[in-house]
Amino acid sequence: MKHRLIVTRRLPEAVEERIKREFDAWLPDQDKPMDGKELLERAEGASALLVTPTERIDADLIARLPQSVRVVATFSVGYDHIDVQAAKALGIAVAHTPGVLTNATAEIALLLILGAARRAHEGEKIMRDASWTGWTPTQLLGCELGGKRLGILGMGRIGQAVADRARAFGLSIFYSNRHRLPPDLEKGATFYPDPETMLMQIDILSLNAPSTPETWHFLNERRISLMKAGAIVVNTGRGGLIDDDALIAALKSGRIAAAGLDVFENEPKVHPGYRELPNTFLLPHLGSATVETRNAMGMMALDNILAVLRGLAPPNGL
E strand spans, the chain:
4-7, 24-26, 48-51, 71-74, 93-95, 149-153, 172-176, 190-191, 204-207, 231-235, 256-261, 280-282
Of the listed 16, 22, 38, 267, which one is catalytic?
A: 267
Residue type, 166: A
> What are the φ and ψ backbone dihedral angles of 183, each rounded to 5 degrees?
-55, -35
Residue type, 202: I
Of the listed 238, 255, 271, 294, which one is catalytic?
A: 238
238 is catalytic: yes
With the CA atoms of 189, 193, 197 and 203 taken in that order, what torsion angle do they form, in degrees rounded to the nearest 10?
30
Query: How far is the CA of 202 from the CAs of 68, 171, 229, 262, 286, in angstroms?
Result: 52, 10, 10, 21, 26
196 is catalytic: no
- Pairing verdict, β 172-176 and 190-191: parallel
Helix (H) or strand (E) holding 185: helix 183-186
Q: How far apart are CA 278 and CA 160, in angstroms?
A: 30
10 is catalytic: no
Q: Is 171 helix (H, G, I), strand (E, B) or coil?
A: coil
Catalytic residue numbers, as ranges: 238, 267, 285
